[in-house]
Amino acid sequence: MISPLAYIHPEAKVGENVEIAPFVYVDKNVIIGDNNKIMANASILYGSRIGNGNTIFPGAVIGAIPQDLKFRGEESTAEIGDNNLIRENVTINRGTAAKGKTLVGNNNLLMEGVHVAHDASIGNNCIIGNSTKMAGEITIDDNAIVSAAVLMHQFCHIGGHVMVQGGCRFSKDIPPYIIAGRDPITYSGINVIGLRRRGFSNETIENIHNTYRIIYQSGLNITDALEKVEAEVSMTPEIEYIVKFIRSSERGIIK
């Protein structure tokens, strides 16, 4: 299962039933779990932690040092969960002193050429399109879809169940359950199709819709709009998530 043409550092830990193709490089201080497939010319570098059941395609580089001039060689990791598809030429840098780790959860698809910068955090069940680039310390919540060639400013937060149009760039947060698109990027409605596919009820979708009508169409400032939401919309977990997300946003949300 491990090609003699691959390099595996003697201190690396490799689990059971792992397939490693020719010309793969596995550095020291690397832990690879069970049932992974690592294709030719992938590099798994110092500080990488790979879970179980992942497929890593040719040319991917996991655990390279951050592209951050403040990095001084501190110990940090790039941690990948389970059952991810990491396609060709994806780069996932390890963390810095800021957070110490870069995180990719479970069941994600990172398409060709995606870059995940230092200290970023990607949740579960996300799809990240070809050539999308994430700056340092971004956060993407579960079940988000970010289309191709999207540019994400550092520290931005993308909420769960969003759909981000291809080719967008943004420097503010994108709240949950919406579609974000156009140029410049803006709120473009809620992600109705995605929510239905995920099993959200019509009542829940209508509550989300009513919440965003208040936030984006009432003419109120954000503080007053959130107070109106709390007064007028049934506070289900989904609505609580929206309110908490926006209140905690340090960069502000897209318009």
Residue 136 catalytic?
yes
Of 124, 127, 83, 92, nearest to 109 by C-alpha is: 127
Three-state secondary-structure class, residue 155 = coil
Residues pairing with 77 in the sheet: 101
114, 131 Cβ separation under 8 angstroms: yes
Which residue in the list 113, 123, 136, 160 is annotated as catalytic? 136
Which residue in the list 119, 123, 129, 160 is annotated as catalytic? 119
Residue 82 catalytic?
no
Token digits for 64? 């390279």
Residue 118 catalytic?
yes
Which residue in the list 118, 141, 157, 173 is annotated as catalytic? 118
Alpha carbon distance 255, 253 (integer Å): 6
Single-letter residue type at 50: I
Single-letter residue type at 245: F
- Would you name the residues annotated as active-site residues? 118-119, 136
